[in-house]
Amino acid sequence: MLPEWITKPVGDAPSTHWPKPLDPFPNPEAETVEDRRPTPYQRDRGFDIQARSEEGRGLGRAGVIHTAHGDIKTPAFIPVGTKADVKGLVPEQIAGTGAQAVLANAYHLYLQPGSGIVDEAGGFGSFMHWPGPTFTDSGGFQVLSMGAGFKKVLTAEFAGGDMSSSGASAHSGVDAGPVAPELVKRQREAVKLSKAVVDEDGVVFSSHIDGSKHRFNPEISISIQHQLGADIMFAFDELTSLSHPRSYQLESLDRTEAWARRCLIEHRAQTETRTHRPYQQLWGVVQGADYQDLRIRAARTLGEMEEDGQMFDGFGIGGALRKDRLGEIVSWATAELPENKGRHLLGISEPFDLFVAVEAGIDTFDCVNPSRVARNAAIYTPTGRFNLTNARFARDFSPLVEGCGCYTCQNFTKAYVRHLFKAKEILASTLATIHNEWFTVRLVDAIREALIEGNLSEFREEMLGNFYGRSLNVEPNGS
């Protein structure tokens, strides 16, 4: 029997009753600041806790993040619209999955079409016709991965590969034991690569589009994100890999904390200048790799950091970390962060990781994976993942998931969507993405409900047992 969370409609989702958006083009010639400012209709910041979980690590909570463009009930999954679009979907289709917000990338929108153009459009939400809450990341990950050559290493790490310098478990203070010669070489290469592009002011990088040189620093990143107009944006930080030795992680953390202060100062200045826009929240980013003392230090420092009355409105847990110790490492930070502010974990969407992160105190997530694998015909189901291009689906006239409430499953069959993939039709990616985003969004919604109802452990055991216990894909080469 199909679980209820994937079948029921989205009728009560926050995205179905967002308030009317603020006027993106207030009168710039008004006589007073107050006349220029759009009339607020919505709390533009803050986080309210509605329920707590005593299960697992005892850090899980359900709540509401307030933004200028609507509330976000948490825990929540935030689909990624990298270039101000969730690939293949129009905004109404995104809302149809139950998604409460979307996240875009500062690096990509800065390079194309330019943050100034997005600003003229009223921010990326108006630009892409999305009326609900929005996030932007600082561009730090893309600057270092795409613009500075870290991509291969970071791809392996964020996919769960063991890239730690010692090969041992996460540790609290010092490097564990002797380091093998090949790992010493990798450490030296990582540090050399970092020092070639990172200095105390910021990062120099090359555009992946045309190779032109650019610089991001705290002031530039915050200025760009203010132009992009997201309700929630993130401080500019240095991204390290697990290949970097502890000595460099310490150096980088010092730099990231200095940058965080500069972000707060620039954020206050931009907020005071741009009074024609609603308030944009700035969230700090907790780094520290897989070192307990560094994560705790970063969380405490950012949680208490204040510059001229400006503090962080929430926090992101950033950087590469060991996937097999995800809950432990995340909990080091969340146990130290202020309770009354939201917490976001960047780049997570697999079912196991979602449960672990919620139990460790995370409120929101973003990840490209549901849409990325959809474009390769990989389909999520409550009993695992399968590849729709398999020949056995050529005459399968059942939905992708029987009883699923998403638009694709309500209207199309495996045979039809498979045909679209084999014929290389664009619609194939659209229909598969609708389903995968629905699956992920609705799963996190169900985690929220289970947490509120006090049966998170039971739901976790049932859902993960079904998902990882068996799969529709019987081929040995995976999904």
Q: Tokens in use for 255?
A: 């730099």
CB contact at 8 A, 225 and 136: yes
- Beta bridge pairs of residue 284: 315
Nearest CA to 358 out of 344, 341, 370 is that of: 344
Give the pair of three-digit tokens for residue 165: 């310098």
Contact 389, 424 (CB under 8 A): no
Helix ranges, 229-291 (H): 246-273
Which is catalytic among the residues 231, 363, 366, 445?
Answer: 366
Pairing of strands 310-311, 306-307: antiparallel
User: What's the CA dihedral at 276, 365, 346, 469 to 10 degrees?
Assistant: -170
**Whether residue 366 lies in the annotated active site:** yes
Distances (CA, A) of 100 to 93, 288, 465: 12, 30, 28
| Local structure of residue 148 (DSSP, 8 states) | S
Contact between residue 436 and residue 371 where contact means Cβ atoms under 8 Å apart: yes
Integer angstrom CA distances of residue 446 from 4, 365, 384: 9, 14, 17
Contact 254, 302 (CB under 8 A): no
Helices (H), 159-245: 181-197, 218-228
**Which residue among 71, 137, 231, 445 is the active-site one?**
137
CA proximity to 209, closest of 104, 85, 111: 111
| Cα distance from N-terminal residue to C-terminal residue, the chain | 23
Yes or no: say if 216 and 243 are a contact pair by the CB < 8 Å rule: no
313 is catalytic: no
Which sequence positions are flagged as catalytic?
137, 366
